């Protein structure tokens, strides 16, 4: 009998040891959100039959959801407004016997956390691919627990740039005139190859150790904030990496679209708005996978939807973010995206969210913006979108020959479609980004056209975004379209670099001139309220020049972009409705004055003029 009892005890102990909690996500939470319901994803071997108990002031266990996979439990808690911050146990019982417990922490929110201010038109965003900007900590280049090792000589490999490198260059960015940083994804990408870009997430709550740590990312955001620089986090709700633990062992068959089987998206973004579209094409777009290694998540699954919404809120609160750039905004379930955006802004009313809808048609882009009266009744909360139509028009305007239907007219007519947007001033304008050829390459490496592009980007309506290295004419002409080359290392970010874009050592004369021009323009723009808040009036292109005004009740700036022949004189009588008689025009960068008495303005070819009207 004693032997039988001993064997029974050993059996029970073995069962208890076999059950363990591997993850609870979110790992902690805060008291004081508008949404008081909190989902906890609990993951562990064979825990699905366990019963959870919580005893903490202000916290109530509302319900437990047991998905088909017995390795999961989803606990829904109510965290009352008067709940006590602190750590408490979550007890798990097998019938009446306690078999596991997990300590969970509720924190008090920072003062003013809900009132965080996003970016606006006074800001300039600087886009950084962290693996390629600066290597501040070579010790984290290789992490033994992760698959891919560093290989700097391979354009598609990991090169070692990290959070420490970005933090060490904050003074460089502020000196340049940058006020906000959009960073390509920093979360763990434990993939076999091409993991540097960050768009194959394998842990939604962990910064990739090759970039640093969660604490390092939070410290970076705080250090940037101390210099009045906002941080925008790049997020992906459409897909994860194929090595993500909840893709390898999903809670249910419908966690990933097409039952976890690879079916590529058709990329037909117009199917969302097309009144004639087939359901087959619509589903192929929204449910299809980007690539085999990026499983398409099913946001129609309520458990997953709650998980993703909470993850975004957790990062905003944890890191003190000012904004989110949402990757592939139209690809997930569109009703979920409206729910997600509204949920985030309910907690942070002044927060910024900009969505990526890579279409050159304003009618397609505008569909997703908050306030748009759509033909199908779709209602969005999304404040801002990337202005891909204007980017495409800028490239064409600067590279096409000037005719009735080509050249500057592409910009003029694209801007004339601003009536399609609920708020065109909220759009983010840009000359290039991490997914396309660099603007200097797009413009045939012409420094004069480059200056015209920068002048337009920084004086038109909206919030401008520049890509790292634009200021020193980084290009990819040797390999157009190659993302590894487009995302080349910023020179000077690695020990031993012969050229240093940060200090200027080794830059060519053209690179130094471009950097000086852009720095001067950025510094002027930083205090140019007429650009931040002013209206825009444009005039039809004429003789190779394009003219528009930014104006308020108190101030006017005239922008003249000229591609015309040398020695062209601009007829100022065209602009009499906004240009006062006898006004003086002062160049904001050089201080040079131009009189309007002669009713003409002499122009040099391929030159931008930004003129304060006095």
Query: Could you list the active site residues?
Result: 327, 356
Tokens of 597: 């008495």
The answer to whether residues 341 and 251 touch, using CB atoms and an 8 Å cutoff, is: no
Separate counts of helices (H) and strands (E) for the chain: 16, 26
Check residue 147 and report its DSSP letter: S
Residue 199 CA from chain centroid, whole number: 11
Contact residues for 460 (Cβ-Cβ < 8 A; gap 6+) = 390, 415, 429, 536, 548
Only one residue has tokens 């064409």, namely 396
**Residue 339, H or E segment:** helix 334-347
**What's the rounded Cα separation, in Å, for the pair 84 and 277?**
52
* Paired residues of 559 in beta bridges: 548, 610
* Paired residues of 296 in beta bridges: 239
Half-sphere exposure of 344 (CA within 13 A, CB side): 34
**What's the rounded Cα separation, in Å, for the pair 117 and 133?**
26
At 213, give phi and psi (nearest 5°): -140, 170
Residue 553 CA from chain centroid, whole number: 34
Contact residues for 324 (Cβ-Cβ < 8 A; gap 6+) = 232, 233, 234, 235, 312, 316, 344, 351, 352, 353, 354
The answer to whether residues 183 and 234 touch, using CB atoms and an 8 Å cutoff, is: yes
Residue of 294, 295, 198, 293 whose CA lies nearest to 255? 295
- Per-position b or e across 475-496, b if 16+ CB within 10 A of its CB: bbeeeeeebbbbbbbbbbbbee
**What's the rounded Cα separation, in Å, for the pair 589 and 609?**
9
Tokens of 609: 């003029």
Cite the DSSP H helix spans in 416-537.
439-442, 447-457, 483-486, 509-526, 529-533
**What's the rounded Cα separation, in Å, for the pair 246 and 381?**
29
**What's the rounded Cα separation, in Å, for the pair 225 and 103?**
32
Strand pairing category for 51-54 and 86-94: antiparallel
The answer to whether residues 216 and 207 touch, using CB atoms and an 8 Å cutoff, is: yes
The answer to whether residues 257 and 297 touch, using CB atoms and an 8 Å cutoff, is: yes
């Amino acid at each position: 009998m004693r032997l039988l009892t001993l064997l029974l005890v050993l059996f029970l102990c073995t069962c208890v040891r076999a059950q363990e909690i591997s993850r609870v996500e979110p790992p902690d939470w805060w008291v004081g959100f508008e949404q008081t319901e909190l989902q906890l994803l609990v993951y562990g071997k064979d825990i699905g039959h366990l019963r959870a108990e919580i005893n903490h002031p202000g916290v109530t266990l509302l319900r437990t959801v047991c998905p088909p996979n017995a390795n999961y439990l989803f606990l829904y808690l109510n965290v009352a407004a008067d709940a006590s911050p602190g750590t408490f146990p979550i007890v798990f019982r097998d019938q009446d016997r306690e078999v596991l417990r997990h300590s969970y922490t509720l924190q008090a929110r920072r003062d003013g956390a809900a009132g965080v201010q996003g970016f606006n038109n006074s800001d300039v965003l600087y886009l950084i691919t962290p693996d390629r900007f600066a290597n501040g900590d070579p010790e984290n280049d290789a992490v033994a627990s992760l698959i891919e090792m560093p290989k700097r000589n391979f354009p598609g490999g990991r090169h070692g740039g990290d959070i420490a490198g970005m933090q060490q260059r904050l003074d460089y960015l502020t000196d340049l005139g940058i006020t906000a940083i959009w960073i390509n994804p920093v979360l763990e990408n434990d993939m076999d190859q091409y993991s540097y870009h960050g768009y194959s997430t394998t842990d939604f709550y962990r910064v990739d150790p090759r970039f640093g740590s969660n604490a390092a990312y939070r410290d970076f955001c705080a250090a940037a904030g101390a210099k009045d620089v906002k941080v925008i986090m790049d997020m992906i709700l459409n897909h994860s990496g194929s090595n993500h633990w909840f893709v390898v062992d999903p809670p249910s068959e419908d966690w990933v679209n097409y039952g976890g089987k690879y079916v590529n998206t058709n990329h037909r973004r117009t199917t969302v708005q097309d009144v004639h579209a087939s359901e087959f094409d619509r589903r192929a777009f929204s449910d299809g996978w980007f690539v085999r290694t990026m499983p398409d998540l099913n946001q129609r699954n309520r458990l997953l939807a709650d998980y993703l919404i909470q993850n975004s809120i957790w990062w905003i609160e944890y890191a003190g973010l000012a904004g989110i750039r949402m990757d592939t905004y139209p690809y997930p379930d569109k009703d979920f995206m409206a729910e997600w955006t509204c949920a985030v802004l309910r907690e942070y009313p002044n927060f910024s969210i900009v969505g990526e809808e890579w279409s050159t048609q304003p009618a397609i882009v505008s569909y997703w913006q908050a306030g748009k009266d759509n033909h199908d009744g779709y209602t969005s909360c999304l404040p801002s979108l990337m202005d891909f139509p204007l980017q495409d028009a800028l490239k064409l305007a600067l590279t096409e020959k000037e005719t009735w239907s080509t050249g500057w007219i592409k910009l003029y007519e694209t801007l004339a479609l601003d009536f399609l947007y609920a708020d065109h001033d909220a759009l983010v304008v840009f000359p290039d980004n991490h997914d396309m050829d660099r603007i200097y390459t797009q413009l045939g490496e012409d420094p004069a056209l480059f200056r015209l592009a920068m002048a337009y980007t920084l004086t038109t309506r909206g919030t401008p975004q520049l890509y790292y290295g634009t200021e020193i004419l980084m290009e990819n002409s040797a390999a157009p379209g190659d993302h590894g080359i487009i995302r080349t290392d910023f020179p000077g970010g690695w020990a031993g670099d012969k050229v240093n874009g940060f200090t200027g050592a080794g830059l060519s004369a053209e690179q130094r001139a471009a950097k000086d021009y852009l720095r001067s323009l950025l510094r002027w723009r930083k205090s140019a309220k007429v650009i931040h808040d002013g209206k825009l009036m444009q005039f039809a292109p004429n003789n190779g020049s394009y003219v528009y005004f930014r104006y308020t009740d108190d101030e006017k700036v005239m922008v003249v972009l000229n591609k015309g022949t040398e020695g062209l004189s601009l007829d100022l009588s065209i602009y009499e409705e906004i240009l006062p008689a006898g006004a003086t025009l002062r160049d904001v960068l050089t201080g040079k004055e131009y009189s309007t008495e002669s009713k003409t303005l002499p122009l040099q070819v391929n030159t931008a003029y930004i003129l304060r009207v006095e």
